[in-house]
């Protein structure tokens, strides 16, 4: 949530391995979208059922273990960052 609106940026898509690799490489620069195979949306909460033993990446970091479901929600103004 870069602009403080209390929303998650959610990306989903159905990409070939080749396109997924290209998008992953473009992710740090923000050049992965727009892409016809990637859908973007913003939401305050998200729940996703996953196939068994799915690896989960959150904010660029892989979480330990695997998951069958993922639930997240934003707490607006819960964290103050001073740079």
Q: Say if residue 47's pLDDT is above 90.
A: yes
Is residue 21 a part of any domain in this protein?
A: yes
- Return mean pLDDT, the chain: 82
- 6: region left, alpha or beta (phi > 0 left; psi from -120 to 50 alpha): left
71: Cβ contacts below 8 Å, ≥ 6 apart: 45, 46, 47, 48
pLDDT at 45 over 70: yes
Determine the pLDDT at residue 64. Answer: 94
- The per-residue pLDDT for range 1-34, each reduced to its tens digit, is 455 678 888 878 888 888 888 877 887 777 666 7
Number of domains in the chain: 1
Domain annotation covers residue 61 = yes
Note the pTM of the prediction, 2 decimals. Answer: 0.55
- Residue 36's domain comprises 8-73
């Amino acid at each position: 949530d870069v602009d403080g609106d209390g929303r998650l940026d959610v990306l989903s898509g159905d990409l070939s391995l080749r396109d997924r690799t290209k998008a992953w490489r473009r992710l740090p620069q923000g050049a992965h979208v727009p892409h016809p195979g990637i859908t973007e949306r913003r939401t305050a909460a998200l729940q996703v059922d996953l196939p068994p033993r799915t690896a989960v990446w959150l904010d660029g970091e892989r979480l330990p273990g695997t998951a069958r479901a993922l639930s997240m929600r934003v707490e607006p103004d819960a964290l103050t960052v001073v740079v």
